[in-house]
Each structure stands twice: as structure tokens, then as C-alpha cells.
């Protein structure tokens, strides 16, 4: 692992040196690029993976590694414990669930969560966290004046269970959002990170796929008997699919143990095993992509899955996308290479989460005012999305390693990607 980090540092350094010399060094220097900002995130204006460091928060469980997040081995142990704590809650929901799945820890989500926590603000929208070509990512957070254990943090979220009423239409997302995300049966992975900020601690957990806001009143299926939906895959009271994850808005089919892909797209857009995205047909087929869905990529949570071309998900998130052809440093793209606003260091405590920024309407979801704030929020540099220095992601190397590797690779930011690129192209 030490080697790994050295390679990473060297590649980062080499990458900088090899790049075209920026026209205004005094301007560029104070703003290091974010190694997690690859094309597919850069195509999403305001994406959190494209935010610049330095981060103001210090990670709680490890040494401060400076501007860039570098995953430490200790995070793996911690993430397994975090998944265990979540599964304890999922296993004892009341009323009983027939389709509750066992969550699996994901260190990629964990490292991303820590990166987000080190911003020292939990403010974010689902659009800024989405893994294009992967899934939507839900977020729970907790600000605290004192350092807490993950047991404390997760119990605090669980205590919303006294407010939550299964099946009621009166559940207030801002009061039960953390709990319902924890007991969302469609969620399969979790990863958490924390940071010490000036005067407070911030705890963030990320969940994939995100709880669909239309399911807030019924985040799982209730039944008199647990595991009713997954005979043969039951462990205790949880359905255990061994960490199978369904990508691209697809749903786990408990009968076939496969993922049912979004079906309104052109044939071949989603690979039918776990619904990998293939940007093979350079246009969308859902009639709504040229109609009512236009301009709703940041507002309707399913638009990016139904219209991957319209929403900039294609071609950037295609497994075979070769970003070397187009990735450019900001100045190469003719964009300003200075942030116009300083990196976020605010310590606001008025926060919103996924659930509070979404209101359900029919089967789609429309984002309310908070949802639009990603474009103008002072916490996010206005040009961050498009002006960041993108790095090269060689997705082609990722496709044969199976679901786990593909998933982790989607999320495991920065160094791995750069290291692999270096290895495979040299
Ligand atoms: C470099 O950027 C700084 C900050 O924006 C600006 O004040 C300065 O004039 C620029 N220098 C050149 C040579 O463009
Ligand atoms: C920080 O890293 C140094 C060197 O690797 C190590 O000796 C020290 O114990 C670490 N501190 C913590 C709090 O992990
Ligand atoms: C609700 O959450 C609290 C706090 O974690 C827990 O002690 C209690 O058992 C939970 N109640 C139910 C019915 O799950
Ligand atoms: C999640 O929990 C934190 C800490 O209790 C709280 O500040 C926040 O409002 C909750 N969010 C939702 C959506 O329930
Ligand atoms: C659950 O149990 C109750 C009482 O035993 C029964 O009336 C009801 O039909 C059962 N529901 C299901 C879905 O089996
Ligand atoms: C059931 O879950 C427990 C706890 O996570 C685990 O130790 C055990 O191996 C699982 N059993 C099977 C058959 O997967
Ligand atoms: C699961 O897949 C089977 C076979 O393709 C299909 O008949 C069934 O409707 C699917 N179940 C759900 C809930 O979509
Ligand atoms: C592209 O879309 C067309 C029209 O829907 C379809 O007939 C064709 O099979 C698709 N191409 C591939 C490679 O799947
Ligand atoms: C779907 O993806 C898997 C994993 O990359 C691959 O092995 C399989 O051949 C693909 N299937 C199709 C029909 O493209």
C-alpha cells in the first residue's frame, strides 16, 4: 500500500508536469485539481467529486493527508462495522419486512463520504452526488459538538423511528429521512466518513442506490414473515444476495436474482446482467427525452437513466469511453482557471438532505427550490463543474472484474484510476 501511494503521488506529479503549462501560474497554483474529477463527474455541473481542496476538515480516523484524500487501510475495518450496525437496524424493523436486503460496506462510498465530510458542510443535492452510469447516492448526516462513535451516530438516525409511521402519507421527509434511508430495501451499499471541523464534528454516510423519495412512506415491503420475498436467500431476517448491486436505476428481481433494467431505452443501452451502461446508440429512444423530460436531468431522479444522452451521462460514463481524447485542463478548454469564490469553509447548520429537497409528484420527483441551489450556491464555485482539471479514466480496464470491482472502481476516487491509467498506457 505504501508503494501504491508513492505511485499515486508520482503519477499526480507527473501528470502535472506533463500537462501544458498554464498561462497564469499564479492563478492556477493555489487551486489544486481534484483527482476524483474525471469526465463523467465534470459533465455534471457542481458535482462534489469535482470540488477543489484544500478541505478544511480533518479526517477523524486517520492522519490528515493534506489536500487530497488518500484512503487508509483502517477505513476498511470501520466500514465493515458500519454496515453491521446498519444491518442490525434493518433486521429488526417493525412492521416486519419481506424484502429487506443485507447491506454491504463499500469503501469507495466510504472514501467519498469522508471527502465530502471534510468540506465541513453536508449541504448537497442528489444531483451533486450521483454516480453517472452507476446510481443515485443518498446521504445521511449529523453535526455534533462532540466526537461520537458510529454506534451513537447511527442510533441517532434510527431514533427517527418513533416519528416514522409505515404506510402513512403524513411522514415528513425532513423528520424521517435518515431512518427511511437506513431501512430502504432497495439500497445495497453503504460507506461513511467523518471529519473534525472547526468547532464541530461532521458525520456523513452515503447509500447506493438512494432511497427513491416516492418510497418514503414504504421504504420496504411489509409482511408477517421476514424474507418472504427471498426464499433461499434468507439469512436471519435479511435477504442476502452476496452484495449484488443493480446499476443504472435497475431493480433487483428477487425471483431471478438479476437486475431488471430501465426498459424505455434503446436495446443494448443497459447490459442486462447488472445493467451496465453501454452508450452504443448515440441517441435516446424514450419519447420523453425529446419531450417532457427535456431540462429535467437535475430535477427528476429517473431522467438520467431514461435519457443518458440528453443528460450528459453518455458518452462520458460508458465503460468503453476513452476520455484521453477529450479530457483537458481548464485552460486548454478556454475556461478560466481561477475560482471566483473561495473553497467552502462555511459551518452552516441549516442543512437539507435528499429527502427534504424532493417532493413526490405522481411517479416522478420534482426538486424544489433547494434543488436549484446547486447552480448558484455560494458554497460551490460557480465554474467548478466545467473548469476543473479532469483526469483520465480508463474504464476499459474495469469491465472484466465483475460487479464488485466495477462498483468499487466507479467510486474509488483518484489514485486507483490514475495509477491504472499509468500502468496500462505505459
Ligand atoms: C493572473 O490571475 C490573477 C488573478 O486572477 C490576475 O490578477 C492576474 O492579472 C493574472 N495575470 C496574468 C498575466 O494574466
Ligand atoms: C500518523 O502517521 C504517523 C506516521 O505514519 C504515525 O506514526 C502516527 O501514529 C499516525 N497518527 C495517527 C493518529 O494515526
Ligand atoms: C427505535 O430506535 C431506538 C434508538 O436507536 C431503538 O432503541 C428502538 O429499539 C427502535 N425501535 C424500534 C421499534 O425499532
Ligand atoms: C438527519 O439527522 C440529522 C441529525 O439528527 C438531522 O440534523 C437532519 O435534519 C436529519 N435529516 C433528515 C432528512 O431527517
Ligand atoms: C398477518 O397476520 C394477520 C393476523 O395473524 C392476518 O390477519 C393477516 O392476513 C396476515 N397478513 C399477511 C400478509 O399474511
Ligand atoms: C449470515 O450472516 C452472518 C452475519 O452477517 C454471517 O456471519 C453468516 O456467514 C451468514 N450466513 C450465510 C449462510 O451467509
Ligand atoms: C422478475 O423476473 C421475472 C422473469 O423475467 C418476471 O416475470 C417478473 O415479473 C419479475 N419480477 C418483478 C417484480 O418485476
Ligand atoms: C440501436 O438502436 C436500434 C433501434 O432501437 C436497435 O435496433 C439496435 O439494435 C441498437 N444497436 C445495438 C448495438 O444494440
Ligand atoms: C454484460 O456485462 C458483463 C460484465 O461486463 C459481461 O461479461 C457480459 O458479456 C455483458 N453482456 C452483454 C449482453 O453485453
pLDDT score at 310: 93
Instruction: Give the distance (Å) from ligand 8 centre to CA of residue 309.
Output: 15
Pairing between β-strand 58-59 and β-strand 189-197 as defined by DSSP bridges: antiparallel
Is residue 309 within 8 Å of residue 284, measured between CB atoms? yes
Q: Which residues line ligand 3 (CB under 6 A)?
A: 92, 94, 155, 158-159, 161
b/e map of 134-152 (b: 16 or more CB within 10 Å)? Answer: bbbbbbbbbbeeeebebee
Cell numbers that stand for 134 in this block: 452507476
Identity of the highest mean pLDDT range in 57-66, 67-76, 204-213, 272-281: 204-213
pLDDT(392) > 50? no
Tens-place pLDDT, residues 157-177:
999 999 999 999 999 999 999
Interatomic CA distance for residues 183 and 103, integer angstroms = 10
- CB within 8 Å of 162: residues ≥ 6 apart: none
pLDDT score at 388: 26
Cell numbers that stand for 16 in this block: 502535472
Interatomic CA distance for residues 15 and 20, integer angstroms = 10
Report the nearest-CA residue for atom 3 of ligand 5: 224
| 302: helix, strand or coil | coil
Report the nearest-CA residue for atom 13 of ligand 9: 271
Interatomic CA distance for residues 207 and 229, integer angstroms = 22
Report the nearest-CA residue for atom 2 of ligand 5: 224
pLDDT score at 59: 78
Instruction: Give the distance (Å) from ligand 2 centre to CA of residue 63.
Output: 6
pLDDT(196) > 70? yes
Interatomic CA distance for residues 51 and 82, integer angstroms = 26
Instruction: Give the distance (Å) from ligand 2 centre to CA of residue 64.
Output: 9
Instruction: Give the distance (Å) from ligand 1 centre to CA of residue 349.
Output: 35
Interatomic CA distance for residues 212 and 157, integer angstroms = 18
Pairing between β-strand 104-105 and β-strand 251-253 as defined by DSSP bridges: unpaired
Tens-place pLDDT, residues 263-316:
999 999 998 889 999 999 889 999 999 899 998 998 898 999 999 999 999 998
- Which of these, 347, 348, 344, 367, lies nearest to 357 by C-alpha position? 367
- Which of these, 211, 201, 91, 106, lies nearest to 150 by C-alpha position? 201
State mean pLDDT over 314-340: 61
Which is higher by pLDDT, 245 or 392? 245
Residue 159: CB within 6 Å of ligand 4?
no
pLDDT score at 57: 82
Report the nearest-CA residue for atom 2 of ligand 1: 27
pLDDT score at 171: 97
Residue 250: nearest ligand to its CA? Answer: 7
State mean pLDDT over 193-207: 93
pLDDT score at 31: 38
Q: What is the mean pLDDT of the chain?
A: 71
Q: pLDDT band at residue 87, thresholds of 50, 70 and 90?
A: very high
Instruction: Give the distance (Å) from ligand 9 centre to CA of residue 85.
Output: 34
Which is higher by pLDDT, 138 or 74? 138
Interatomic CA distance for residues 122 and 113, integer angstroms = 10
- Which of these, 406, 417, 355, 356, lies nearest to 135 by C-alpha position? 406
pLDDT score at 333: 52
The number of residues in the chain equals 426
Residue 24: CB within 6 Å of ligand 1?
yes
Q: pLDDT band at residue 137, thresholds of 50, 70 and 90?
A: very high
Pairing between β-strand 234-235 and β-strand 58-59 as defined by DSSP bridges: unpaired
pLDDT score at 244: 86
Bridge partners (DSSP) of residue 314 are none
- Which of these, 262, 257, 163, lies nearest to 212 by C-alpha position? 262
| 306: helix, strand or coil | helix
Cell numbers that stand for 4 in this block: 501504491
Report the nearest-CA residue for atom 13 of ligand 7: 253
Residue 142: CB within 6 Å of ligand 4?
yes
Cell numbers that stand for 152 in this block: 451513537
pLDDT score at 35: 61
Q: Give the CA angle between residues 183, 186, 188 to the nearest 5°.
A: 85
Which is higher by pLDDT, 361 or 211? 211
Cell numbers that stand for 366 in this block: 420534482
Record the pTM. 0.72
pLDDT(50) > 50? yes
Helix (H) or strand (E) holding 200: strand 200-208
Torsion angle of alpha carbons 30, 35, 37, 38, nearest 10°? Answer: 140
Task: Kindly report which listed range (47-56, 90-99, 110-119, 232-241) carries the lowest average pLDDT score.
Answer: 47-56
Bridge partners (DSSP) of residue 105 are 190
pLDDT above 70 as % of the chain: 62
Instruction: Give the distance (Å) from ligand 1 centre to CA of residue 23.
Output: 9
pLDDT(100) > 70? yes
pLDDT(74) > 50? yes
pLDDT score at 54: 62
Amino acid at each position: 500500500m505504501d508503494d501504491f501511494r508513492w505511485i499515486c503521488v508520482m503519477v499526480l506529479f507527473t501528470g502535472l508536469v506533463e500537462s501544458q503549462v498554464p498561462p497564469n501560474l499564479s492563478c492556477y497554483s493555489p487551486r489544486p485539481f481534484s483527482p476524483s474529477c474525471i469526465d463523467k463527474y465534470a459533465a455534471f455541473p457542481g458535482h462534489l467529486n469535482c470540488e477543489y481542496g484544500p478541505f478544511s476538515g480533518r479526517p477523524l480516523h486517520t492522519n490528515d493527508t493534506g489536500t487530497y484524500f488518500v484512503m487508509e487501510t483502517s477505513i476498511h475495518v470501520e466500514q465493515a462495522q458500519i454496515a453491521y450496525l446498519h444491518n442490525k437496524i434493518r433486521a429488526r424493523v417493525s412492521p416486519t419486512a419481506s424484502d429487506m436486503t443485507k447491506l454491504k460496506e463499500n469503501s469507495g462510498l466510504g472514501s467519498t463520504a469522508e471527502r465530502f465530510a471534510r468540506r465541513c458542510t453536508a449541504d448537497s443535492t442528489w444531483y451533486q452526488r450521483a454516480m453517472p452510469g452507476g446510481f443515485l447516492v443518498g446521504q445521511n448526516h449529523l453535526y455534533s459538538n462532540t466526537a461520537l462513535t458510529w454506534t451513537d451516530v447511527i442510533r441517532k438516525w434510527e431514533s427517527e423511528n418513533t416519528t416514522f409511521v409505515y404506510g402513512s402519507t403524513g411522514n415528513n421527509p425532513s423528520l424521517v429521512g435518515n431512518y427511511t434511508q437506513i431501512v430502504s430495501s432497495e439500497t445495497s451499499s453503504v460507506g461513511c466518513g467523518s471529519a473534525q471541523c472547526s468547532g464541530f464534528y461532521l458525520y456523513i454516510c452515503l447509500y447506493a442506490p438512494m432511497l427513491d423519495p416516492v418510497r418514503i412512506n414504504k421504504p420496504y415491503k411489509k409482511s408477517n414473515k421476514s424474507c418472504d420475498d427471498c426464499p433461499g436467500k434468507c439469512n436471519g431476517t435479511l435477504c442476502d444476495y452476496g452484495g449484488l448491486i443493480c446499476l443504472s436505476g435497475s431493480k433487483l428481481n428477487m425471483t431471478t436474482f438479476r437486475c431488471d433494467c430501465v426498459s424505455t431505452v434503446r436495446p443494448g443501452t443497459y447490459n442486462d446482467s447488472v445493467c451496465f451502461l453501454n452508450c452504443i446508440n448515440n441517441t435516446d429512444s424514450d419519447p420523453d427525452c425529446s419531450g417532457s423530460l427535456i431540462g429535467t436531468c437535475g430535477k427528476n431522479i429517473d431522467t438520467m437513466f431514461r435519457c443518458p444522452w440528453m443528460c450528459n451521462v453518455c458518452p462520458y460514463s460508458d465503460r468503453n469511453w476513452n476520455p484521453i481524447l477529450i479530457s483537458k485542463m481548464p485552460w486548454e478548454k478556454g475556461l478560466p482557471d481561477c475560482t471566483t469564490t473561495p473553497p467552502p469553509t462555511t459551518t452552516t447548520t441549516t442543512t437539507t438532505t435528499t429527502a427534504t429537497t424532493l417532493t413526490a409528484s405522481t411517479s416522478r420527483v420534482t426538486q424544489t427550490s433547494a434543488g436549484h441551489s446547486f447552480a448558484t450556491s455560494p458554497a460551490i464555485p460557480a465554474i467548478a463543474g466545467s473548469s476543473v482539471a479532469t483526469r483520465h479514466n480508463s474504464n476499459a480496464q474495469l469491465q472484466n472484474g465483475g460487479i464488485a470491482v466495477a462498483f468499487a472502481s466507479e467510486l474509488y476516487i483518484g489514485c486507483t484510476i490514475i495509477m491504472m491509467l499509468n500502468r496500462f498506457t505505459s
